[in-house]
Amino acid sequence: MDNVIRPDFQRAAKATAGETKAPRAAGPVQYVKTYGEVGPHAVSLVRARSGPQRGVYQVVIDTPHGQIGPVGVEPATKDGMFDADRVGMAVIRTLELLAERSGDFDVA
């Protein structure tokens, strides 16, 4: 499951190459479903319809202040939907466990 959380290496590579342009915003997305809500966070599935990631499912975490961003990206296929569902449920369960935990969250 190496495709669950992906750091943005392209941004670092462009900065190293001297490109100072801001990264392009993601294109329009289609809401598919919500996996659940824990506190102020909601975990949803969207499908990117245009841009560089056309035809992919993205599991995203939403907050009242806006989207945090994709935590899982899968191809827009039947198998991709299955994997995205697994990622979405895992993220919800993780947020539930963190919400139950008292004290400092900085300890890994």
Residue with tokens 């991709």: 80
Instruction: Identify the band that residue 82 occupies on the pLDDT scale cut at 50, 70 and 90.
Output: very high
Instruction: Give the start-to-end residue ranges of the domains of the chain.
Output: 27-100
Could you give the CA distance from residue 82 to residue 45 in angstroms, rounded to a whole number?
12
Could you give the CA distance from residue 23 to residue 102 in angstroms, rounded to a whole number?
37
Q: Where are the alpha helices (DSSP H) in 1-108?
A: 9-16, 78-100
What is the pLDDT at residue 50?
64
Tell me: pLDDT of 94 over 60.
Answer: yes
Instruction: Identify the band that residue 69 occupies on the pLDDT scale cut at 50, 70 and 90.
Output: confident
What's the pTM value of the predicted model, to 2 decimals?
0.65
